[in-house]
């Protein structure tokens, strides 16, 4: 066979393999694993997606699973999910992690028929050392969608590139001071960032020190809302990076940090907020503000309860993750656990800012049908004396089915 004909045959075979992988990934999720230099990398390509729209990246301190809440979020958003890890003793870890991510995306793009992968917007989430994902992403601020960082030092905005000023960032910390001494970063970095007009959010987990706790519930709502607002719906990322929308500060909601020590923290739309906007916590939308208010609830006499066939949601504990898997179309019972000392007049259950059900008399329960994706569930309660409060929120997620390669 002539050499030119052989080359053409090889090219055609590679194109066919890539096309086959692309077709398969539209019907079944694909799990990928590799080691690039010092970095181990795992990824989920959710099924049913012709063109992916983004990456959810856990750079450190995360366990990879293809059927957890992060996989469900990736499926919902049409993102791929990537988890990387590197030895803690390694030098220059953010650079090595980012280089491995970039190399992996380029390799998978060619091998699996998804040319958009190297250009996808990046979303980072991480706990403790996992917070280094932010610096790794900001090497390309034009591709950084958002980050939600827990128990890592609040970033110094003066060290960020100028192009990062409009990127929405969420920082959550344990409310209990500890040896990591991260709480002073609120006054040192968060307050100046907000005064400068940056779209930054903040959450303090009651009962937690350097604990991830229920941080994922607030992180997921933040990521859902920012993705909806920043990603253009009509733009195709296959030819190259897509322009991300800025979220006008004035279209967001605000919260009062001084009001988080009870059961109904103060939130309001920008125009309705009558306190100092420059020191307020910023949220991309009403849903995130309402989930944050529930997430900040402290010592509530009424707590959320949920169950479905084969599963009962455990009672809320500040240092424990609070989530429940469900099947698409499965009935979920929404309920509450109330102290004997309270007298209820009504209960409303929400997913984000959408009312799922309301009851004005016992039994305090309702049925909700779970749908694909992640749902941040909480309840608003009213006592007979007129007092209003919120429960802490939990995540209900419908996991994707998985296939390993």
Could you tell me the pLDDT band of residue 401, with boundaries at 50, 70 and 90? low
Q: Quick: pLDDT tens for 107-134.
A: 999 999 999 999 999 999 999 999 999 9
Please give the helix or strand (H or E) that residue 172 lies within, else none.
strand 169-174
Q: Quick: pLDDT tens for 234-248.
A: 878 888 889 999 999
Count of Cβ atoms closer than 10 Å to residue 253 Cβ:
25
Q: How many angstroms separate the CA atoms of 390 and 405, rounded?
A: 44
> Across the chain, what does the average pLDDT equal?
92
**C-alpha torsion sign, points 19, 23, 24, 26:** positive
> Where in the chain do CATH 2.60.40.10 domains reside?
302-398
Query: Is residue 9 predicted with pLDDT exceeding 50?
Result: no
Q: Tell me what pLDDT residue 236 has.
A: 84
Q: Tell me what pLDDT residue 47 has.
A: 93
Query: Is residue 18 predicted with pLDDT exceeding 80?
Result: no
Average pLDDT over residues 14-26: 46
Average pLDDT over residues 154-171: 97
Q: Quick: pLDDT tens for 25-36.
A: 457 899 999 999
Q: Quick: pLDDT tens for 314-325.
A: 999 999 999 999
Tokens coding 184? 């002073």
> Where in the chain do CATH 3.40.50.1820 domains reside?
3-295
Q: In CATH, which of 3.20.10.10, 3.30.2010.10, 3.40.50.1820, 3.20.20.150 is domain 3-295? A: 3.40.50.1820
Count of Cβ atoms closer than 10 Å to residue 165 Cβ:
15
Q: Tell me what pLDDT residue 239 has.
A: 86
Query: Is residue 54 predicted with pLDDT exceeding 50?
Result: yes
Q: Tell me what pLDDT residue 234 has.
A: 80
Write the DSSP assignment of 298-363 as a string of letters.
-S-SEEEEEEETTEEPPPP-TTS--EEE--TT-EEEEEEEE-TT--EEEEEEEETTEEEEEESSSS
The domain made up of 302-398 has a fold known as Immunoglobulin-like (2.60.40)
Could you tell me the pLDDT band of residue 5, with boundaries at 50, 70 and 90? very low
* Residues of the chain above pLDDT 70, percent: 92
Count of Cβ atoms closer than 10 Å to residue 269 Cβ:
15
């Amino acid at each position: 066979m002539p050499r030119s004909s052989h080359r053409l045959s090889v090219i055609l075979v590679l194109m066919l393999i890539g096309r086959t992988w692309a077709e398969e990934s539209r019907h079944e999720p694909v799990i990928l694993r590799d080691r690039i230099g010092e970095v181990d990398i795992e990824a989920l390509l959710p099924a049913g997606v012709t063109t992916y729209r983004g990456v959810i990246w856990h750079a450190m301190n995360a366990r990879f699973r293809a059927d957890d809440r992060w996989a469900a979020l990736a499926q919902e958003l049409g993102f791929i999910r990537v988890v990387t890890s590197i030895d803690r003793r390694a030098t220059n870890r953010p650079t090595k992690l980012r280089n491995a991510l970039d190399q992996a995306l380029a390799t998978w793009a060619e091998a699996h028929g998804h040319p958009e992968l190297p250009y996808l917007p990046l979303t980072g989430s991480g706990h403790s050392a996992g917070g280094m994902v932010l610096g790794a992403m900001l090497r390309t601020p034009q591709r950084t969608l958002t980050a939600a960082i827990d128990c890592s030092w609040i970033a110094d905005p003066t060290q960020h590139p100028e192009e990062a000023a409009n990127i929405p960032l969420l920082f959550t910390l344990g409310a209990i001071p500890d040896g990591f001494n991260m709480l002073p970063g609120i006054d040192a970095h968060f307050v100046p960032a907000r005064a400068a007009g940056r779209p930054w959010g903040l959450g303090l987990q009651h009962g937690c020190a350097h604990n991830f706790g229920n941080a994922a519930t607030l992180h997921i709502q933040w990521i859902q809302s920012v993705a909806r607002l920043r990603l253009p719906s009509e733009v195709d990322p296959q030819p190259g990076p897509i322009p991300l929308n800025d979220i006008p500060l004035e279209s967001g909601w605000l919260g009062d940090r001084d009001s988080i020590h009870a059961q109904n923290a103060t939130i309001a739309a920008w125009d309705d907020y009558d306190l100092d906007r420059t020191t307020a916590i910023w949220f991309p939308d009403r849903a995130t503000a309402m989930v944050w208010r529930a997430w900040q609830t402290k010592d509530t006499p009424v707590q959320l309860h949920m169950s479905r066939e084969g599963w009962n949601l455990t009672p809320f504990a500040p240092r424990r993750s609070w989530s429940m898997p469900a099947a698409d179309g499965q009935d979920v019972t929404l309920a509450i656990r109330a102290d004997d000392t309270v007298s209820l007049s009504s209960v409303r259950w929400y997913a984000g800012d959408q009312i799922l059900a309301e009851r004005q008399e016992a039994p305090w329960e309702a049925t909700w049908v779970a749908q694909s994706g992640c749902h941040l569930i909480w309840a608003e309660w009213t006592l007979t004396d007129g007092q209003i409060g919120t429960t802490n929120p939990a995540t209900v997620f419908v996991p994707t089915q998985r296939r390993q390669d």
